[in-house]
Amino acid sequence: MTDTGQNPITDQVYKARQFCEDKGARFTLLREKVYALLLEQQGAVGAYELLDTLKLTESNAKPATVYRTLDFLLEFGLIHKIESTNAFVACHHFDCNHPVQFLICDTCGDVKEIQSVGLKDTLDKQAQSVGFRVVNQTIEAHGTCAACQ
Amino acid sequence: MTDTGQNPITDQVYKARQFCEDKGARFTLLREKVYALLLEQQGAVGAYELLDTLKLTESNAKPATVYRTLDFLLEFGLIHKIESTNAFVACHHFDCNHPVQFLICDTCGDVKEIQSVGLKDTLDKQAQSVGFRVVNQTIEAHGTCAACQ
DNA sequence: AAAATTAGTGTTATTATATAACGGTTTGTT
DNA sequence: AACAAACCGTTATATAATAACACTAATTTT
Ligand SMILES: [Zn+2]
Ligand SMILES: [Zn+2]
Ligand SMILES: [Zn+2]
Ligand SMILES: [Zn+2]
């Protein structure tokens, strides 16, 4: 599997494998499959919906199978969790250490990841002004995307 | 039950009753009890933990009892939900129409509500710049509060 | 190469969070 | 009093997530 420039998903999976191996982490077949499934989806996917899809090729998959795999992908930043919907989305920029915010369209389900440093800094600053030290942020906006208006 | 200036919780409950009645909503005993329970807690409380406490005086309370009551309180802005922990906190400013953000201490569990208009506007603007219309925001920071550092 | 260690997976069971549906009761309105 | 709407009791079920343990594959040490 190489970066051919032909298939965006294949290329992204390839990048993910390189990324993991560079960090000494094993990008197993299961992890690859789950990551690829998330790349194929548009919008976020719940763990059990993902499980159903995974079962098509991994008939013995169970909840723990999925959650363990998601935990790995989350830990290495290959995916993100949407807290307000308990769902997961693939990240395309896992190699660039970015702040994460989401715009979630409640009409079509589309999830757009934005990386606003300004937004992150604003929250950090607000916290700092009351002596709070931020370790991680959850910023999610629900509403209507451009296409749905 | 009047605003005596003696007991902050009693006063807050009184304000909540006035607020609901002004809107033609019924602030029933159940709703009052649940709101008061949340006021007594420090930090956020899960629905089932709340249920256990509620059962001490309402022995026949069930999950639906709690969730229905929480739905009402959420709808009228008397409480907020913390999406990243599936927990609920009482709001003390339900009458002033404010943006909502939370600073959640992962050490002591304290939840501080802040109301940064600047933060809200920054997110709205970021969304607007890609044609996204925001209906509601979830902004939660996890980390360490001043007291725990 | 064999042994030991660590990481990953299969499997079963359980816990935690949330909603659906239906009937009865209370409240407000006509 | 009759009616409608809102509220609550109750049972069942759906959805989301983790715990625990045995087994296997990969990596490291000897
Ligand atoms: Zn990302
Ligand atoms: Zn849309
Ligand atoms: Zn508030
Ligand atoms: Zn603290």
Whether A138 sits inside 8 A of B83 (CB atoms) is yes
pLDDT attached to residue B6: 73
Low-confidence ranges of chain B (pLDDT < 70): 1-5
Task: Tell me the chain B residues in contact with residue A84 when contact means C-beta distances shorter than 8 Å.
Answer: 83, 138
CA distances from A65 to A55, A70, A73 (A): 10, 9, 13
Q: Tokens 């607020």, residue? A: B19
- Rounded mean pLDDT of A59-84? 98
CATH of domain B8-90: 1.10.10.10
Same fold, B8-90 and B101-148: no
Show Cβ contacts of residue A139 under 8 Å, excluding neighbours closer than 6 positions.
A100, A101, A102, A119, A120, A123, B123, B137, B138, B139, B140
At residue B7, the pLDDT reads: 87
CA A66 – CA A119 distance, rounded (Å): 32
The pLDDT value recorded for residue A7 is: 87
Query: In which band, very low, low, confident or very high, does the pLDDT at A6 lie, cut at 50, 70 and 90?
Result: confident
Nearest to B113, CA basis, from B43, B47, B49, B45: B43
| Dihedral angle of Cα B35, B36, B39, B43, to the nearest 10 degrees | -70
Distance CA A85, CA A78 (A): 19
CA distance A63 to A60: 10
d(CA B142, CA B85): 10
- What spacing in Å lies between the alpha carbon of A108 and ligand 2's midpoint? 4
Flag whether pLDDT at A65 surpasses 70: yes
Q: What is the pLDDT of residue A5?
A: 66
Instruction: Starting from the CA of residue B89, give the closest ligand.
Output: 3
B46 touches strand C (CB under 7 A): yes
Q: How many other C-beta atoms can be found within 10 angstroms of the C-beta atom of residue A69?
A: 23
The whole-number average pLDDT for the span A38-55 is 97
- What is residue B40's predicted lDDT score, i.e. its pLDDT? 97
Query: CB-CB: which of B114, B118, B137 is closest to A141?
Result: B137
Segments making up each domain of chain B, as ranges: 8-90, 101-148
The span from the CA of B103 to the CA of B143, in Å, is 7
Contact A142/B146, CB-based, under 8 Å?
no
Long-range CB contacts (within 8 A, 24+) of A133-136? A133/B143, A133/B144, A133/B149, A134/B103, A134/B141, A134/B142, A134/B143, A135/B106, A135/B142, A135/B143, A135/B144, A136/B141, A136/B142, A136/B143
- Chain-wide mean pLDDT for chain A? 95
In whole angstroms, how large is the CA radius of gyration of chain A? 17
> Residue B36: what pLDDT?
98
Q: Does the distance separating the beta carbons of A103 and B127 come in below 8 Å?
A: yes
pTM of the model: 0.94
Q: Is the pLDDT of residue A4 over 70?
A: no
What gap in Å lies between CA B58 and CA B54, rounded to an integer? 6
User: Radius of gyration (Cα) for chain B, nearest Å?
Assistant: 17
The 10s digit of each residue's pLDDT in A111-123 is 999 999 999 999 9
Q: Which CATH class is domain A101-148?
A: alpha beta
Q: How far, in Å, from the CA of A134 to the mean position of ligand 1?
A: 18
Mean pLDDT of A94-111: 96
> Of the given ranges (A2-16, A120-134, B34-48), which has the lowest mean pLDDT?
A2-16
- Percentage of chain A surpassing pLDDT 90? 94
Segment A16-31 shows an average pLDDT of 97
Q: Is the CB of A95 under 7 A from strand C?
A: no
Model pLDDT, residue B50: 98
Nearest CA-CA partner of A35 in A74, A7, A83: A74
Distances B99 to A109, B80, B94, B113, B136 between C-alpha atoms, Å: 24, 11, 11, 10, 9
